[in-house]
Amino acid sequence: TALFRSLDDDNDGIPDTVELATAPPSGDTDGDGIIDSLDLDSDNDGLLDIEEAGHGEADANNDGRVDGPVGTDGIPDAVQTGLSPNGGAIDYTVADTDGDGAPDFQDLDSDDDGINDVIESNGTDANGNGLADGPVDADGVPSSVPAGGATPVDTDGDTVPDHLDLDSDNDGINDVVEGGNDALDANGDGMVDGNDGDGDGIKDAVDGA
């Protein structure tokens, strides 16, 4: 299917309209030169968009794309269960765990605990900017990320991966406290308080934006 006729150019199960509507004006959340509708890791945190989208569909061959047939609308049929396979709609709500308006696939700290997703998924981020290290390939995935993207870590085995879990080890002490950011969570909800001026998903109090 030609790109101009496809509603999901990279077949990650997230419609292009969603990826571009929530991206910055450039359409390129991570600034790697690949617009989000073609980028398999839109925020460069090492967790592929197919993982962070929230649809839970399979990617057995680790290519960052939803397995199975794709209809004439360009959207994988697997995310259109119970809907017209060519109607352009999807059967799930795109995940925004912390409710900050930035979908998880464009959010460098999806649970707002002050610890970036790349760190909570055991990625490498030497400069602490929330992006996985290394240049990106043609699909927008950093070179330091293994095929299929980082494997989400679930320290306490509660089926909620650490990057979405406000108490990753289930010890009753929120990660925001254990990460040294307890002073930034005045209301004790486990999330860093305040605004996110640059829209990267990391609160200003943490990234100094």
For residue range 23-50, list pLDDT tens digits in order: 999 999 999 999 999 999 999 999 999 9
> What are the φ and ψ backbone dihedral angles of 163, each rounded to 5 degrees?
-75, -5
SS3 state at 98: coil
DSSP 181: -
Q: Flag whether pLDDT at 2 surpasses 50.
A: no
Whether 207 contacts 113, CB under 8 Å: no
With a threshold of 0.85, does the pTM exceed it? yes
> What are the φ and ψ backbone dihedral angles of 38, each rounded to 5 degrees?
-120, 0
Greatest Cα pair distance in the chain? 52
pLDDT tens digit sequence for 128-156? 999 999 999 999 999 999 999 999 999 99
